[in-house]
Amino acid sequence: MTGGVPSLIDLKDIDLAYNGQTILEHVSLSVGPKEIVTLIGPNGCGKTTLIRVLLGLVRPDAGQVKRREGLTLGYVPQKISIEPSLPLTVRRFVALGGVRDVTRIEEALAHVGADHLADAQANRLSGGEFQRVALARAIARRPDLLVLDEPAQGVDVQGQVEFYRLLRHLRDQLGCGIFLVSHDLHFVMAATDQVICLNKHVCCAGQPEVVQKHPEFLHLFGPQAAREIAVYSHDHDHAHGLGGEVVAPEEGGA
């Protein structure tokens, strides 16, 4: 993703330690326009910290974070819980992202298939519904870069497949770059341009097929995991059922 087009965001040689313990070491990465980058890694590998650095929430000890000038960020955190004591419609929640224009809010909700929820109380939604609403808040801002922290957590396999399909769709329609932290390394989105495998340092990075054969990746996760990576691929002429059996592709899945 070089070739003259400036990156949306560039991290260079990021070092970060807490209480003398290294969290991130010489981490470099960049996300280009319309690029989908997936970050994977074992628990405690620094994924959450890296996302906080990328969002500008923590300052690294060393290294540079360079954002393209005027970059608009959309962020979908891992979990948002709205207090039962807070009466808040979905529409208002989306507006709190800084968007006052009513039609833009409606559009964003329609994009994620949540337009019917606009007047619902936000604290009554299911996890899957709220995930879409949080995504709507992010895209209503018309972001250049969409950052998602383990968005498919707690959603069933079918939900994950649909969510990833939605993301690819959004990338194509809105033209934003996507940086995604995946909690499930078996389930890297097939539309990913670049997988980054993190274990304090960047173990390996590249296209999904390259990463899954990389010796450091095999060492970290074992060959079993490597075989299962990127099971969801929309380019396949078939899909896998819950037991792994081959089933007919879904309508509109490609």
Partner 1 sequence: MDFLLYALIGGGAVALAAGQLGPFVIWRRMSYFGDSLAHSALLGIALGMIAGAGLNLGVLVTSLLFAGLLVTLEHQRRLGMDALLGIFAHGSLALGLVGLSLAGGAQVDLMSFLVGDILAVSRGDALLMVATSLVVIVGLRLIFDWLLSLSIHEELSLAEGWPVLRTRLIFMGLMAFFVMSAIKVVGVLLISSLLIIPAAAARAISRSPEMMCLIASGIGFVTVVLGLGLSFGLDTPAGPSIVVVALGFFGLSLAIAGLVSKSS
Q: Which is nearer to partner 1, 132 or 165 (CB)?
A: 132
- Contact residues toward partner 1 (CB under 8 A) are 52, 55-57, 73, 75, 77, 80, 82-83, 85-89, 92-93, 96-98, 141, 147
For residue 27, give both structure tokens.
Answer: 């981490």
Residue 184 makes CB contacts below 8 A (sequence gap 6+) with 152, 160
Alpha-carbon distance of 65 to 53, in angstroms, equals: 8
Residue 197 makes CB contacts below 8 A (sequence gap 6+) with 40, 41, 203, 204, 205, 211, 214, 216, 217, 220
Q: Which is nearer to partner 1, 174 or 239 (CB)?
A: 174
How many CA atoms lie within 13 Å of 105's alpha carbon, on the beta-carbon side?
18
Q: Which is nearer to partner 1, 63 or 97 (CB)?
A: 97
- Does residue 91 contact residue 118 with C-beta atoms inside 8 Å? yes
- Does residue 54 contact residue 179 with C-beta atoms inside 8 Å? yes
Phi, psi of 158 (to 5 degrees): -60, -40
For residue 60, give both structure tokens.
Answer: 């690294």
Q: Which is nearer to partner 1, 5 or 80 (CB)?
A: 80
Q: Could you tell me the smallest distance in angstroms from the CB atom of residue 27 to partner 1?
A: 19
Please name every residue paired with 6 in a beta bridge, in sequence order, or none if there are none.
none
Q: Could you tell me the smallest distance in angstroms from the CB atom of residue 243 to partner 1?
A: 37
Q: Could you tell me the smallest distance in angstroms from the CB atom of residue 87 to partner 1?
A: 5
Instruction: Provide the 8-state DSSP code for 250.
Output: P
